[in-house]
Structure 1
Amino acid sequence: MASLKEVRSRITSVNSTQQITKAMKMVAAAKLRRAQENITQFRPYAQKLKQMLGTVSAGAETATDSPYKQARPVERVLLIVVTSDRGLCGAFNTNVVKGALTLIDEKYAAQARSGNVEIMAIGKKGGEAFIRRGFRVNTAHMDVFTSLSFSRVKAAAEEAMNGFASGQYDAVEIVYNEFRNAAVQIVRTEQMLPIVPTPPAAAAGSATSVTNYLFEPSEEEIVTELIPKTLKTQLYKAVLDSNASEHGARMTAMDKATENAGELLKELRLVYNRTRQAAITTEILEIVGGAEALAAA
């Protein structure tokens, strides 16, 4: 049985840990509120823009000439993996890394064996995980979350777009955590490039006839402007989703850690009281035994 000093030391240590996890939970909750507002406000805009791109590019003749729609045999792949910079958020980062590895195994196994799968890491944890696994990792945008803004994500999107347009990559996909609520984050995989046109009927979810569009100022100018903006928006939405998911996962993990620390404190206090009681009983027995020995003498 542990001594009273050891049990007291453990109680002090667990109590300090509980205070830290409780504080981290409160910080994560505050950050989550802001991040949740950002993604809930931005998501409808991003979804509508993507729908517009799919429907317009499906019927626009000039869109077929866009370098971002050119489908070709996939030999070189870029995966944009969005994780966090820090841990202590449960399985948040692990799930994204597993999702990316599953995608590689199921879809790009041949390219991976040839060393033609490159990882663009947004978030340090994902970059570190894939470096350990021997993948080529682009770390230029790994610190996006240190000062999250559209301009920083835009730079990463432009690098991926330029790489695809120049033939450096034949496919670009994004792997990230989609935010549902504080307790639920879902790993998503989205194809960023090449663009897959969505017929108007499919976008509307019905078998309606194809709509004829009137373009102003011109079809070419609109599509040329819409495609790059939509691609950048798509990546920014994924990053905002991941940011909110991270804070939700960390809040949930710290809440669970605080509860576990409370349960451990109850057990340690019970052990402490039992140990203290046993020590007192032993002292009483020793005193009684000594008194009886003196009386017998």
Structure 2
Amino acid sequence: MPGIKEIRTKIKSVQNTRKITKAMEMVAASKMRKAQERMRASRPYAEKVREIAAHMMQTHPDYRHPYMEERTDIKAVGVVLVTTDKGLCGGLNTNISRLLLARLKEFEAKGIKVQTTALGNKGLSLLTRIGSNLVSNEVQLGDQPHLDRLIGALKVQLDDYLDGKIDALYVASTHFVNTMKQEPTIMRLLPLPDGLADPFVAGSVKSDNEAAAIESSYQWDYIFEPDAKSVIDDLLTRYVEGLVYQAVAENMASEQSARMVAMKAASDNAKKVIGDLQLVYNKTRQAAITKEISEIVGGAAAV
């Protein structure tokens, strides 16, 4: 059994650890509220851009943007991996990494080449470790996503798609459901689906009858300046960038939620360990006192 001094030292160490995890839990809770507000604030913008883009594509059905052209022979794809820059957030990065590795094995089995982009330090470490074809990356994103920093890494993949070097582009990120639940997802970014359905909402793809009813009920008439093609091209580019921004915002909200939950669990476990150690400390101390009393009584009896 360890001595009293060793137990006291270990209790002090666990108490210090609990102070750190408790402070990190409170910081994560504060950042979580801001991240969730930021994520929810960006959703109406993405929804409105998607709505306008869908309306304009219906207004000019003859024009098909390259982002909406389905390619039958898939020889190469691009993958954008969105992760956190820091750890201590439970299994958040592990879950999305496991899902991505399974998808990469599927591509490899079909003979499809993959080039990757990392948004976040943890994703960069993973893709570098497995030796993937990393074409761009952006790390140290901070607590708030900035589109100007994301565009550079994303543009490499978009240019390769337009040049025909890749036939599809996917985004692997964590979708925020609620504070206790975050789902790792891989969505297809390019080519865009008909009707520009919301990839973050399950069941958002409308049936043919529903789409026809909406199209017959509403007529959209736009005045384009300088011309329809330039406006549609620019709008769809902004729409794709908005999807990536939304994915990063969802991942940041998931990160702070997962970190808060993980730090709370660590604080609770530390409290339990402290209680167990204090019980052992009291038993050891009582045993030492009893032994000393026995030795005194035995010595007095001998005299």
- Asked if TM exceeds 0.5, the reply is yes
Matched letter for residue 274 of structure 1? K
Task: Return the alpha-carbon distance in structure 1 between the equivalents of residues 36 and 144 of structure 2.
Answer: 17
Report the alpha carbon displacement of residue 49 of structure 1 after superposing the two structures with TM: 2.1
1:161: which partner in 2? 158
Structure 1 pair 21–48 and aligned structure 2 pair: CA distance change class (3 A) = same
Structure 1 pair 139–207 and aligned structure 2 pair: CA distance change class (3 A) = closer
Give SS of 1:119's match.
strand
Unaligned stretches of 5+ residues in structure 1: none
2:6: which partner in 1? 6
Task: Return the alpha-carbon distance in structure 2 between the equivalents of residues 57 and 251 of structure 1.
Answer: 43
Task: Return the alpha-carbon distance in structure 1 between the equivalents of residues 254 and 271 of structure 2.
Answer: 26
Question: Which structure 2 residues correspond to residues 12-23 of structure 1 after superposition, within 5 A?
Answer: 12-23=12-23
Please say if 1:110 is aligned against 2:109: yes
Which moves more between the two structures, 39-48 or 88-97?
Answer: 39-48
Matched letter for residue 202 of structure 1? K
Structure 1 pair 38–2 and aligned structure 2 pair: CA distance change class (3 A) = same
Aligned length: 290
1:126: which partner in 2? 123
1:216 equivalent among 196, 201, 223: 223
Task: Return the alpha-carbon distance in structure 2 between the equivalents of residues 241 and 14 of structure 1.
Answer: 34
Matched letter for residue 251 of structure 2? S
Report the alpha carbon displacement of residue 48 of structure 1 after superposing the two structures with TM: 3.4
Contact 2:176 2:183 in 1 (8 A): yes
* Cα RMSD, aligned residues only: 2.3
Matched letter for residue 247 of structure 1? Q
Structure 1 pair 138–2 and aligned structure 2 pair: CA distance change class (3 A) = farther
2:201: which partner in 1? none
Which moves more between the two structures, 49-58 or 221-230?
Answer: 49-58
Which moves more between the two structures, 165-174 or 273-282?
Answer: 165-174
Give SS of 1:85's match.
coil
Task: Return the alpha-carbon distance in structure 1 between the equivalents of residues 301 and 172 of structure 2.
Answer: 78
2:267: which partner in 1? 258
Contact 1:95 1:187 in 2 (8 A): yes
Which moves more between the two structures, 135-144 or 10-19?
Answer: 135-144
Task: Return the alpha-carbon distance in structure 2 between the equivalents of residues 253 and 266 of structure 1.
Answer: 20
Give SS of 2:188's match.
strand
Structure 1 pair 138–262 and aligned structure 2 pair: CA distance change class (3 A) = farther
Please say if 1:206 is aligned against 2:210: yes
Question: Which structure 2 residues correspond to residues 218-257 of structure 1 after superposition, within 5 A?
Answer: 218-257=227-266
2:91: which partner in 1? 91
Structure 1 pair 53–28 and aligned structure 2 pair: CA distance change class (3 A) = same
Contact 1:54 1:196 in 2 (8 A): no
User: CA-to-partner distance for each residue in 1:51-96, whole Å, 9 max, x for gaps?
Assistant: 44345435633541x2222332211111111000110000010011
Structure 1 pair 259–205 and aligned structure 2 pair: CA distance change class (3 A) = farther
Q: Which has the higher helix share?
A: 1
TM-score of the two chains, using structure 2 as the length reference? 0.88
User: CA-to-partner distance for each residue in 1:86-111, whole Å, 9 max, x for gaps?
Assistant: 100000100111121222234x2336
Unaligned stretches of 5+ residues in structure 2: 198-204
Contact 1:177 1:188 in 2 (8 A): yes
Contact 2:147 2:245 in 1 (8 A): yes
Matched letter for residue 249 of structure 2? L
Task: Return the alpha-carbon distance in structure 2 between the equivalents of residues 56 and 202 of structure 1.
Answer: 18
Give SS of 1:202's match.
coil
Structure 1 pair 250–199 and aligned structure 2 pair: CA distance change class (3 A) = closer
Contact 1:123 1:145 in 2 (8 A): no
Task: Return the alpha-carbon distance in structure 2 between the equivalents of residues 54 and 165 of structure 1.
Answer: 20
1:281: which partner in 2? 290
